[in-house]
Structure 1
């Protein structure tokens, strides 16, 4: 494995350096999506970024290093909370099931949009400890956020007090993550997106003992999300 001459090179010091590093990351993502991790070559990444082979090593030691950074970025985006986006309504104005619905839909949309690279990340995480740690870290962050939300619902008397918040957050989060992989990466079965998001919301709500809501039409599903 080739080493960089000096550690400071690992972090761009200029806007040009930042742009070059971003070009390499974007190019690497395309190459990994097309060729998979094992068949991807640094030469192909450099060529896709329209940079010299040596430029790659100015920013990364190896394809393992650039892939690990990509995996970390993807995992962070996957479980990140939504931005403000100038929304007129606060999440506090939504019912508990509506908040769960939005979270499930947001996760599935992000996973669907990045299904090709997520498939590669899933594969590599099985034998690369760094990538697996990134996966587990994002899942833990998501579960901790869900656990806090479940505890709030219990304090408000809206969720079943018998439910263990930590176990529920881990189990329900794992259900959504595994379902997304089987459906959107493995192609295990074909499902309508709206129906899938709604069914996951139903499972979450029922597991937590939330009050039921009237049966929703497909048009209502789209309007509320």
Structure 2
């Protein structure tokens, strides 16, 4: 026999689902507005208006614009970035330039998927100290999370090794911005990946590793 679900439980479940849907709609509205207008020009009232809710409702879910932008960034990077740096660590562990080039291409493809938000992220990093700190911590976490790679460096050079990874990420982002957003670099993605590999594959080699 199937027992009936208590009315209060059904109501609670429905309310929770509605809350999830409202939060998701706010995130999607903010993403669209940030992509179209940048970060600074968008107001909380604008985000709420797209969803059809009040400013007060927005604040039930987020503390402010930087809070919702942080969630957008987390959604964009969570699984993809973790998998990307697993692939980078594998390329470096196997000392395979071919796999390293493939990783660079994958990274360029990730930037391509998220290019509509890059200007908003850059703008928020300038305007919001809180977001700047989050971005800085995120990049540092990428490098320090490559524990297998770092452990193969001499103990007194592991901070340097992490810095090299951070600088690689920074150059990839800057390249993509100038290439895809500004149009000031004229090169194919394939050619760019090869040249970037020429620069960075040797720079990330474990000290004492012989070139393959």
The answer to whether the superposition gives a TM-score over 0.5 is yes
Matches within 5 A, 1:54-133: 54-76=56-78, 79-82=81-84, 95-133=95-133
Q: For 2:117, what is the secondary structure of its paired residue?
A: helix
Q: Structure 1, residues 21-65: CA drift from partner, whole Å, max 9, x if none? A: 111111101101111111112232123334444432321233233
Matching residue of 1:195: 191
Q: For 1:125, what is the secondary structure of its paired residue?
A: helix
Matching residue of 2:30: 28
Larger Rg: 2
Distance 1:204 1:182, change over 3 A: closer
Unaligned runs of 5+ in 2: 1-14
Q: How far apart are the structure 1 equivalents of 2:82 and 2:62? A: 26
Distance 1:75 1:130, change over 3 A: farther
Q: How far apart are the structure 2 equivalents of 1:211 and 1:199? A: 20
Task: From the two aligned structures, give the one with the greater helix fraction.
Answer: 2
Matching residue of 1:3: none
Question: Which sits farther off after the overlay, 118-127 or 94-103?
Answer: 94-103
Q: How far apart are the structure 2 equivalents of 1:139 and 1:165? A: 16
CA-CA distance at 1:102 after TM superposition: 3.9
Matching residue of 2:11: none
Q: How far apart are the structure 1 equivalents of 2:186 and 2:52? A: 38
Q: Is the 8 A contact 2:144 2:162 kept in 1?
A: yes
Q: How far apart are the structure 1 equivalents of 2:158 and 2:195? A: 21
Q: Is the 8 A contact 2:144 2:150 kept in 1?
A: no
Q: Is the 8 A contact 2:38 2:120 kept in 1?
A: yes
- The TM-score with structure 2 as length reference comes to 0.71
Matching residue of 1:178: 171
CA-CA distance at 1:122 after TM superposition: 1.5
Distance 1:80 1:50, change over 3 A: farther
Q: Say what the alpha-carbon RMSD is for the aligned residues.
A: 3.4
Q: How far apart are the structure 1 equivalents of 2:202 and 2:189? A: 20
Distance 1:198 1:48, change over 3 A: farther
- The TM-score with structure 1 as length reference comes to 0.67
Q: How far apart are the structure 2 equivalents of 1:51 and 1:151? A: 51
Unaligned runs of 5+ in 1: 1-12, 85-90, 155-160, 214-225
Instruction: Give the counterpart of 2:46 among 34, 44, 47.
Output: 44
